[in-house]
Amino acid sequence: MILGKCPYCKANVVAIKSTANGKKVNLYTCENAKKEYDDSDQFVFTSDSTCTFRVYSNVFLRWNKRSFSKYEMKKLLEDEQVIIRLHGRRGTSEYFKYVITDKEYGVSILWDEEVENEKETFS
C-alpha cells in the first residue's frame, strides 16, 4: 500500500506488515530504504539503499500511543506535519502534539509547539 512520497528522495513510501518484539506492527518505509541482517547479525541498510526514511507504527509507544496509523502517516507525508494524540502515564490525561518527519529518526515530536485547534482537527 502506497502512502505517499518520501520527503527526502520522492520515492514511494509504502506500508508493510512487520513485527517488533513479537508484536505485529506496520512499517512505513521509503522504497529506497531497505534493511537486512549483515554477517554479524547487525540490522543495517542494504548496500543499494539510498535513503533512510523508515518509521514503525509503534514509534510513539513511550508516550502511550499504541499505533501511528497509516492515515496519520499519509497525512504527515501530504502536509509535512500531523497532529497526534498522546496519553499521560496512567492513560488519563491526553494531549496533542505536532509530528514532523526527521531524517535521522523518521519522525519527531515538536515538544515546544502548542496545538491550539485539536478539537477542530478531530471533529
Phi, psi of 10 (to 5 degrees): 70, 10
Shortest Å distance, C-beta 6 to Zn ion: 3
Q: Based on CB atoms, which residue is closest to Zn ion, 9 or 100? A: 9
Shortest Å distance, C-beta 61 to Zn ion: 24
Provide the sign of the torsion angle of the four alpha carbons 25, 29, 35, 36, taken in this order.
positive
Phi, psi of 121 (to 5 degrees): -60, -35
Q: Based on CB atoms, which residue is closest to Zn ion, 4 or 115? A: 4
List interacting residues with Zn ion (CB under 5 A): 6, 8-9, 11, 30, 32, 51, 53
Shortest Å distance, C-beta 104 to Zn ion: 13
66 and 51 Cβ atoms separated by less than 8 Å: no
Shortest Å distance, C-beta 15 to Zn ion: 15
Q: Based on CB atoms, which residue is closest to Zn ion, 31 or 118? A: 31
Cα gap 118→56, rounded to integer Å:
24
107 and 97 Cβ atoms separated by less than 8 Å: no
Q: Based on CB atoms, which residue is closest to Zn ion, 49 or 64? A: 49
